[in-house]
């Protein structure tokens, strides 16, 4: 019984000291998405009032065709969502959700579908040209 109590206490201490990842760990990280064309990226920014996401659409001959900021709703410390509205058709919108998984990685959903693993670019790799 003492051994069981000791092991339970050790496991509790280990789990209590483990890093708890949050959405704040992904602020400034650029997430590049393959859209079948030149690509897109999403980058979470923290503002005084909460969060915004910067949506960039890449071009083949031009580095960035468009860059738009959207408001973000924080559902929890581990999850945010936002809507990207099509410029051509204002009635079309895509809901994106960033969810921090149990391994500390980021799962990305678009309109309820989980996207394939995307390339993430840490903030220190940015050249701020975009």
- Residue 126 in any domain: the answer is no
- Residue 4 in any domain: the answer is no
pTM value is 0.75
- Residue 16 in any domain: the answer is no
- Residue 52 in any domain: the answer is yes
Question: pLDDT higher for 12 or 21?
Answer: 21
Which of 8-17, 46-55, 74-83, 120-129 is predicted least confidently?
A: 8-17
- Residue 15 in any domain: the answer is no
Distances (CA, A) of 26 to 10, 21, 43: 30, 9, 8
For residue 98, is pLDDT > 80?
yes
Number of domains present in the structure of the chain: 1
- Residue 78 in any domain: the answer is yes
- Residue 74 in any domain: the answer is yes
Domain that holds residue 90: 23-120
- Residue 104 in any domain: the answer is yes
pLDDT confidence bin for 3, thresholds 50/70/90 = very low
pLDDT at residue 18, as a whole number: 58
Question: pLDDT higher for 45 or 115?
Answer: 45
> 25-56, pLDDT tens digit by residue?
999 999 988 888 888 999 999 999 999 999 99
Which of 6-15, 26-35, 65-74, 118-127 is predicted least confidently?
A: 6-15
> Which CATH number characterizes residue 36's domain?
2.40.128
């Amino acid at each position: 019984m003492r051994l069981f109590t000791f092991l339970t206490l050790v496991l509790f201490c280990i789990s209590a000291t483990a890093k708890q990842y949050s959405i704040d760990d992904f602020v400034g990280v650029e997430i590049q998405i393959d859209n079948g064309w030149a690509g897109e990226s999403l980058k979470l920014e923290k503002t005084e009032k909460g969060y915004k996401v910067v949506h960039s659409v890449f071009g083949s001959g031009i580095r960035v065709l468009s860059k738009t900021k959207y408001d973000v709703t924080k559902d929890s410390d581990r999850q945010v969502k936002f809507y990207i509205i099509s410029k051509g058709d204002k009635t079309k919108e895509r809901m994106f959700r960033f969810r921090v998984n149990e391994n500390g990685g980021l799962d990305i959903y678009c309109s309820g579908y989980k996207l394939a693993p995307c390339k993430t670019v840490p903030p220190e790799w940015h050249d701020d040209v975009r």
